[in-house]
Amino acid sequence: MEWLDDYELELEPMDQTHHEFVEIFNRLASADAASRLERLDEFIAHTEAHFGQENRWMEAIDFPGCHRAEHDRVLAVLREVRSRLAAGDGFFLGRLIEELPTWFGHHASGMDAALAFTLKSVGFDFETETVAGSKGACAASSGAGACACGPTMSEVQAAEG
Ligand SMILES: [Fe+2]
Ligand SMILES: [Fe+2]
């Protein structure tokens, strides 16, 4: 997978994780038969941490849930590919290596870009993983189009109440 300028979201902690994601993916893609299970485990562990980090940030700013669901879907696929590979079937790993770069391009420029934009606009503090003085900053900043998965639960409740 080649790193493209489009992947740069100008949000240091996210960009750093994405650079590592591409690097570890490339190690997996170039692994020989003897080491590919180990490389796949390394890639899955990094992806769990990568998605877990974004999920925590989303939770901290009350960001709508479809991005998290997308992470869960991808991890389910990775675990399925891992169990097939461990059983001696490398076909799905080959498909994964072919298709993941396209998925990542869409995800980085879509969902991750929207999250990065929102984190920047609310002044998210990555040390403490909080927004100073406000919980639910994503709901508070709605209208910017950054929280693109529909209203959050708190917005729905506010509208109903
Ligand atoms: Fe990401
Ligand atoms: Fe993401």
56-73 pLDDT per residue, tens: 999 999 998 799 999 999
pLDDT score of 65: 75
pLDDT score of 132: 73
* Å from CA of 104 to ligand 2 middle: 9
* Å from CA of 85 to ligand 1 middle: 25
pLDDT bin (cut points 50, 70, 90) of residue 139 is low
For the stretch 12-35, pLDDT in tens is 999 999 999 999 999 999 999 999
* Å from CA of 77 to ligand 2 middle: 15
pLDDT score of 8: 95
For residue 134, the Cα-to-chain-centroid distance in whole angstroms is 24
Ligand nearest the Cα of residue 46 is 1
pLDDT score of 158: 52
* Å from CA of 14 to ligand 1 middle: 7
How many Å is the Cα radius of gyration of the chain?
17
pLDDT score of 17: 98
* Å from CA of 65 to ligand 1 middle: 15
**Reported CATH class of domain 8-160:** mainly alpha
* Å from CA of 113 to ligand 1 middle: 9
Q: What is the pTM of this model?
A: 0.82
